Amino acid sequence: MSGEILAVNSGSSSLKFALFDAASTASPMAMQVRYRGQFSGLGSRVRTELQAGFGTELNEEQDAALYDVPAALDHAGALERLLQWVEDNPALGDIRAVGHRIVHGGARYREPLRLDAESFAALEALNELAPLHQPHGLAPVRSLTGLRPGLPQYACFDTAFHATQPAVAQTFPLPRRFREQGVIRYGFHGLSFDYVSRALSAERQHGQALPGGRVVIAHLGNGASLCALRDGKSVAATTGFTAVEGLMMGTRSGSLDPGLVLHLILHEGMSAEAVQRLLYKESGLLGVSGISGDMRELLASEAPEAAEAIALFVYRIVREIGSLAAALGGLDHLVFTAGIGERAAPIRAAVAQGCEWLGARLDDAANAANALDIAGPDSRLGLWVIPTDEERMIAWYTATELARRT
Ligand X SMILES: Nc1ncnc2c1ncn2[C@@H]1O[C@H](COP(=O)(O)OP(=O)(O)O)[C@@H](O)[C@H]1O
Measured distance CA(61)–CA(65) in Å, rounded:
6
CB nearer to ligand UVW: pick between 295 and 381? 295
Q: Is position 238 an interface residue for ligand UVW (rule: CB under 6 A)?
A: no
Site for ligand X in 277-306 (CB under 6 A): 294-296, 299
Specify the residue, 92 or 306, whose C-beta has the smaller distance to ligand X. 306
Least spacing, CB of residue 337 vs ligand X, in Å: 8
Print the SS3 string covering 154-204.
EEEECCHHHHHCCHHHHCCCCCHHHHHCCCCCCCCCHHHHHHHHHHHHHHH
Window 196-235: contact mask with Mg ion (x via CB under 5 A): -------------------------x--------------
Q: In the β-sheet with 153-157, what is the strand arrangement from edge to edge?
A: 47-53, 33-40, 15-21, 4-10, 95-102, 153-157, 113-114
- Residue 47, classified by CB atoms within 10 Å of its CB into exposed (0-12), middle (13-18) or buried (19+), is middle
Query: What's the CA gap between 104 and 109, in Å, rounded?
Result: 8
Asked if 103 interacts with ligand UVW (CB under 6 A), we say yes
- Give the residue, chosen from 223, 240, 254, 359, that forms a contact with ligand UVW under the rule CB under 6 A: 223
Q: Per CB under 6 A, which region of 220-228, 272-280, 325-333, 361-369 contacts ligand UVW?
A: 220-228
Burial 135-151 (b: 16+ CB within 10 A, else e): bbbbbbbebbbeeeeee
Stretch of 5-13, 74-82, 194-202, 368-376 contacting Mg ion, by CB under 5 A:
5-13
Among 39, 188, 195, 241, binds ligand UVW (CB under 6 A): 188
Select 77 or 339, whichever has its Cβ closest to ligand UVW.
Answer: 339
Q: Interface with ligand UVW by CB under 6 A: which range of 44-52, 116-124, 221-229, 320-328? A: 221-229
3-class DSSP state for residue 37? strand
The reply to whether 11 sits near Mg ion by the rule CB under 5 A is: yes
Q: How many CA atoms lie within 13 A of 330 on its CB side?
A: 8
Q: Spell out, one character per residue from 153 to 192, where the chain touches ligand X: x when CB under 6 A holds, - when not.
A: ----------------------------------------
Selection from ligand UVW, ligand X, Mg ion, none that 158 binds (CB < 5 to 8 A by kind) is ligand UVW
Is 158 tagged catalytic?
Answer: yes
Position 221 contacts ligand UVW (CB under 6 A): yes
How far, in Å, CA of 253 to CA of 259, rounded? 15
| Cβ neighbours, 10 Å, residue 375 | 23
Smallest separation (angstroms) from ligand UVW to the CB of 239: 7
The span from the CA of 405 to the CA of 402, in Å, is 5
72-80, 115-123, 215-223, 393-401 -> range binding ligand UVW (CB under 6 A): 215-223
Reduced to 3 states (helix: H, G, I; strand: E, B; else coil), residue 207 is coil
What are the distances in angstroms from CA 274 to CA 101, 155, 252, 265, 292?
27, 31, 14, 9, 20
- Map residue 4 onto helix, strand or coil: strand
Query: Which residue ranges make up the site for ligand UVW (CB under 6 A)?
Result: 11-12, 103, 133, 158, 188-189, 221-223, 243
Query: Which residue ranges make up the site for ligand X (CB under 6 A)?
Result: 11, 14, 221-223, 250, 294-296, 299, 338-340, 343-344
Query: Which residue ranges make up the site for Mg ion (CB under 5 A)?
Result: 11, 221
